[in-house]
């Protein structure tokens, strides 16, 4: 009888692992270039066709596609689920071209039948010839749902070079 119980336990554990793998495969986000070649006639993304990207989100059988712009064709995205099971897209993009002039931003969307923008804030901006301002962030998932972005500002580089410093020492952005 104990062999049957052990075998049942092993089968149950294996089923849970496989179900977990299937569940984790349900949400997927990809970012791909829209153009395969440089399109010099484009009016998209300030005339830089390589900055035009296609964001594709697949959750279960639902697919959402959105065209986005990000400098030099670099962007990053991930899906986060809050304590209530609501899914959010965290999208990191850049704007601006040239030496030490590109800023990076986080945009947070609630994923429903389409994307509902919740907030948009900088995570990096140049503030001088050699220095940059960062918003280091930590994502907190409250028990009641939603997300909290805990932001800590940081200046990196030559401090005397910075044209401005953030007034806030720490702040939070709450999303429901």
Q: Which of 2-6, 35-39, 65-69 has the lowest mean pLDDT?
A: 2-6
Contact (CB, 8 A) for 175 and 118: yes
Can you read off the two tokens belonging to residue 136?
């280091």
Task: Determine what percent of the chain is predicted with pLDDT higher than 90.
Answer: 52
- The residue with greater pLDDT, 150 or 45, is 150
Q: How far apart are the C-alpha atoms of 78 and 90, rounded to whole Å?
A: 5
Does 174 score more than 80 pLDDT? yes
Long-range CB contacts (within 8 A, 24+) of 20-25: none
Contact (CB, 8 A) for 89 and 65: no
SS (H, E, C) 57-110: EEECCEEEEEEEECHHHCCEEEEEECCCCCEEEEEEEEECCCCCCCEEEEEEEE
Extents of the domains making up the chain: 28-175
- The residue with greater pLDDT, 164 or 74, is 74
> pTM of this prediction?
0.79
pLDDT score of 54 = 95
Over residues 117-134, mean pLDDT? 90
Does 39 score more than 50 pLDDT? yes
Q: Which of 79-83, 101-105, 109-113, 151-155 has the lowest mean pLDDT?
A: 151-155
Collapsing DSSP to helix, strand or coil, 40 comes out as coil
Q: Tell me the per-residue pLDDT of 136-171, one tens digit each, with 9 for 90 and over.
A: 999 999 999 999 999 999 888 766 677 666 777 899
Can you read off the two tokens belonging to residue 86?
């609501």
Contact (CB, 8 A) for 94 and 105: yes
Surface-to-core class of residue 148, CB atoms within 10 Å of its CB (0-12 exposed, 13-18 middle, 19+ buried): middle
Indicate the pLDDT class of residue 106, thresholds 50, 70 and 90.
very high
Q: How far apart are the C-alpha atoms of 125 and 120, rounded to whole Å?
A: 14
Residue 34 has phi, psi (to 5 degrees) of -75, -40
Q: Tell me the per-residue pLDDT of 7-38, one tens digit each, with 9 for 90 and over.
A: 444 444 444 444 444 444 578 999 988 876 66
């Amino acid at each position: 009888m104990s062999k049957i119980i052990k075998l049942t336990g092993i089968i149950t554990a294996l089923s849970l692992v496989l179900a977990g793998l299937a569940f984790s495969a349900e949400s997927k986000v990809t970012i791909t270039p829209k153009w395969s070649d440089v399109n010099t006639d484009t009016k998209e993304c300030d005339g830089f066709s390589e900055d035009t990207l296609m964001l594709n989100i697949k959750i279960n059988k639902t697919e959402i596609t959105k065209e986005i712009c990000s400098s030099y064709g670099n962007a990053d995205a991930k899906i986060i689920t809050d304590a209530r099971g609501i899914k959010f897209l965290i999208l990191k993009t850049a704007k601006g071209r040239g030496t030490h002039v590109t800023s990076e931003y986080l945009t947070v969307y609630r994923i429903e039948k389409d994307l509902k923008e919740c907030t948009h804030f900088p995570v990096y901006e140049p503030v001088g010839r050699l220095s940059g301002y960062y918003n280091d962030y930590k994502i907190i998932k409250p028990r009641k749902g939603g997300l909290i972005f805990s932001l800590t500002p940081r200046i990196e580089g030559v401090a005397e070079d910075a044209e401005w410093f953030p007034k806030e020492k720490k702040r939070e952005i709450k999303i429901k």
